């Protein structure tokens, strides 16, 4: 299933015209396809069926409650990286026993919150964090479950800002240090060794780095399984890449599973996965409207009402997002910079892109905007965060109101 397609030259989200959504809710507007979200979840889940993984949706990819709930209804858990994400997920109705908590900077308050609610496990990034978790749990007279995050030192072949499993990154512990950390954990009364965690990066388009990382931790897992009754989980993280560019080959769940499932089966542990982008990336678009077409001697700029405050990925990661007209007029294509209203030269959605000629008032859709767009959005330049809409077949519902000027100053004294 594709969430977005043209019907008689008009872009539709499932059975709803994107133009009508834009008229009703204004722009910029995030539009998500519920069917596509569910489809992605089920594809991954059935590809991995032989190891029956707990799929913990990575909330940071898109933290809207309706998106989280859509996956919870499919049986998902969540991967959170802050107290705020834990709060959102619990409010959306997740069972604490299906929550894993990652991140290098967990504060005492965040740890206590998660211990109090009884999450499945923390993925632990350092010895110091382990000590802190043990201390917090001890004060609360509880036991905290942990999985040490191992940094397997593999290159996933993605942008360096979203590479997390190489030895120079801030994430996890190398294998030798992880072994020592497990020995430390074994001596802690208020810590239970639950599993081992790896997450090597994001937007990874080959299954091989995942398999390589898993092979690097296989022996350690086997040892831990022998020595600790409580050691039950291998958490293989997220990172499955999606198609952003028309000529890009995505990593399919089938290819991913073909490489990983045989190894996972032999390991004999419960499998946890933490997909974010794969589940939501292509299930969302950002609709914006053309404000000005401005030309100078060198460039043709299409100035739209969405910018780096809504979609920061192009300037931050050199990311490519396809941009298409909502009404396809078959216009001729010319080299265009699509830019936003923000007062920064880095405020672009596309540079030097062959785009159909557009005029003031036309609607454009930034594709693949479901992951790491809304959730990375900001109010920079005091711009209002967009409204968000979820489409389900022929129906649509507003799942986040557009902000108002009052929202901007709400917390100021
Ligand atoms: C960000 C993150 C994920 C999700 O990554 P995707 O590339 O969106 O699948 C999973 N696990 C951890 C620990 C993360 O930090």
Q: What's the rounded mean pLDDT across residues 226-253?
A: 96
Kindly state if the Cβ of 102 falls inside 6 Å of ligand 1.
Answer: yes
State which ligand 1 atom lies nearest to the alpha carbon of 281: 8
Pocket probe mutation, ligand 1, options 82, 150, 161, 199, max atoms within 8 Å of Cβ:
199
Q: What is the pLDDT of residue 168?
A: 80
Peptide bond into 28 cis (omega under 30): yes
Q: pLDDT band at residue 1, thresholds of 50, 70 and 90?
A: low
Q: pLDDT band at residue 169, thresholds of 50, 70 and 90?
A: confident
User: Of 160 and 133, which is predicted with more confidence?
Assistant: 133
Q: pLDDT band at residue 26, thresholds of 50, 70 and 90?
A: very high
Q: What's the rounded mean pLDDT across residues 150-159?
A: 89
Kindly state if the Cβ of 79 falls inside 6 Å of ligand 1.
Answer: yes
DSSP-derived secondary structure letter, 204 = B
How far is residue 103's CA from residue 238's CA, in Å, rounded to a whole number?
13
State which ligand 1 atom lies nearest to the alpha carbon of 204: 7
225 phi/psi in degrees, rounded to 5: -65, -40
Name which of 206, 319, 297 is nearest 258 in CA terms: 206
What residues does each domain of the chain span?
A: 4-32+281-408, 34-280
Give kind and range of the element (H or E) at residue 195.
Answer: strand 191-197
8 Å CB contact between 13 and 33: yes
Kindly state if the Cβ of 134 falls inside 6 Å of ligand 1.
Answer: no
Residue 199 CA to ligand 1 center (angstroms) comes to: 7
State which ligand 1 atom lies nearest to the alpha carbon of 60: 1
Pocket probe mutation, ligand 1, options 41, 79, 159, max atoms within 8 Å of Cβ:
79
Residue 172 CA to ligand 1 center (angstroms) comes to: 13
Pocket probe mutation, ligand 1, options 60, 150, 164, max atoms within 8 Å of Cβ:
60
List the helix and strand counts (H, then E) for the chain. 12, 20
Kindly state if the Cβ of 281 falls inside 6 Å of ligand 1.
Answer: no
Kindly state if the Cβ of 40 falls inside 6 Å of ligand 1.
Answer: no
Pocket probe mutation, ligand 1, options 101, 120, 202, max atoms within 8 Å of Cβ:
202
Residue 275 CA to ligand 1 center (angstroms) comes to: 6
Task: From the candidates 56, 136, 221, 343, give the one annotated as an active-site residue.
Answer: 343
Q: How high does pLDDT run on average in the chain?
A: 97
Q: pLDDT band at residue 163, thresholds of 50, 70 and 90?
A: confident
Architecture of domain 4-32+281-408: Beta Barrel (2.40)
- For domain 34-280, is the CATH number 3.20.20.10? yes
Q: Does residue 67 register a pLDDT over 90?
A: yes
Q: pLDDT band at residue 228, thresholds of 50, 70 and 90?
A: very high
Kindly state if the Cβ of 103 falls inside 6 Å of ligand 1.
Answer: no
Condensed to tens digits (0 to 9), the pLDDT of residues 317-364 reads 999 999 999 999 999 999 999 999 999 999 999 999 999 999 999 999
Q: pLDDT band at residue 302, thresholds of 50, 70 and 90?
A: very high
Condensed to tens digits (0 to 9), the pLDDT of residues 176-194 reads 999 999 999 999 999 999 9
8 Å CB contact between 339 and 302: yes
DSSP assignment of 62-120: ---HHHHHHHHHTT-EEEESSHHHHHHHHHTT--GGGEEE--TT--HHHHHHHHHHT-S
Kindly state if the Cβ of 80 falls inside 6 Å of ligand 1.
Answer: no
Query: Looking up tokens 């996956």, which residue turns up?
Result: 71
Kindly state if the Cβ of 122 falls inside 6 Å of ligand 1.
Answer: no
Q: Do domains 4-32+281-408 and 34-280 have the same CATH topology?
A: no
Q: Does residue 234 register a pLDDT over 70?
A: yes
Q: pLDDT band at residue 229, thresholds of 50, 70 and 90?
A: very high
**343 part of the active site:** yes
Residue 154 CA to ligand 1 center (angstroms) comes to: 16
Lowest mean pLDDT among 158-167, 237-246, 249-258, 262-271: 158-167
Q: What is the pLDDT of residue 161?
A: 81
Q: What is the pLDDT of residue 160?
A: 83
């Amino acid at each position: 299933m594709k969430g977005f397609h043209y019907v008689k030259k008009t872009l539709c989200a499932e059975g709803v015209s994107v133009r009508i959504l834009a008229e009703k809710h204004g722009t910029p507007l995030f539009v998500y396809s519920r069917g596509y979200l569910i489809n992605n979840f089920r594809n991954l889940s059935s590809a991995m069926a032989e190891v029956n993984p707990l799929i913990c949706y990575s909330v940071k990819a898109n933290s809207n409650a309706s998106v989280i709930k859509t996956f919870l209804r499919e049986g998902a858990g969540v991967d959170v990286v802050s107290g705020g994400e834990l709060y959102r997920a619990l409010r959306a109705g997740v069972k604490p026993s299906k929550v894993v908590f990652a991140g290098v900077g967990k504060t005492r308050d965040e740890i206590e919150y998660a211990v109090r609610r009884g999450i499945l496990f923390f993925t632990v990034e350092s010895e110091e964090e382990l000590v802190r978790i043990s201390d917090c749990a001890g004060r609360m007279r509880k036991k905290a479950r942990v999985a040490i995050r191992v940094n397997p030192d593999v290159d996933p072949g993605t942008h360096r800002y979203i590479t997390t499993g190489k030895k120079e990154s801030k994430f996890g512990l190398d294998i030798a240090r992880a072994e020592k950390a497990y020995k430390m954990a074994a001596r802690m009364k208020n810590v239970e060794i639950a599993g081992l965690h790896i997450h090597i990066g994001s937007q990874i388009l080959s299954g091989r780095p995942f398999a390589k990382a898993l092979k690097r931790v296989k022996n350690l897992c086997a040892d831990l399984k022998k020595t600790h009754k409580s050691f039950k989980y291998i958490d293989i993280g997220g990172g499955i890449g999606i198609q952003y560019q028309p000529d890009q080959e995505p990593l399919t769940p089938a290819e991913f599973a073909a490489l990983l499932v045989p190894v996972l089966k032999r390991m004999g542990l419960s499998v946890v996965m933490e997909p974010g982008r794969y589940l939501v990336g292509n299930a969302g678009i950002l609709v914006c409207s053309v404000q000005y077409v401005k030309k100078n001697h060198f460039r043709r700029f299409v100035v739209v009402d969405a910018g780096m405050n809504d979609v920061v990925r192009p300037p931050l990661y050199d990311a490519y997002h396809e941009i298409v007209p909502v009404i396809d007029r078959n216009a001729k294509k010319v080299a265009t910079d699509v830019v936003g209203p923000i007062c920064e030269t880095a405020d672009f959605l596309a540079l030097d892109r062959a785009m159909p000629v557009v005029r003031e008032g036309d609607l454009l859709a930034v594709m693949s905007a479901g992951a790491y767009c809304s959730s990375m959005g900001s109010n920079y330049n005091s711009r209002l965060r967009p409204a968000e809409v979820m489409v389900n077949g022929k129906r649509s519902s507003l799942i986040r109101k557009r902000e108002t000027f009052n929202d901007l100053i709400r917390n100021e004294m």
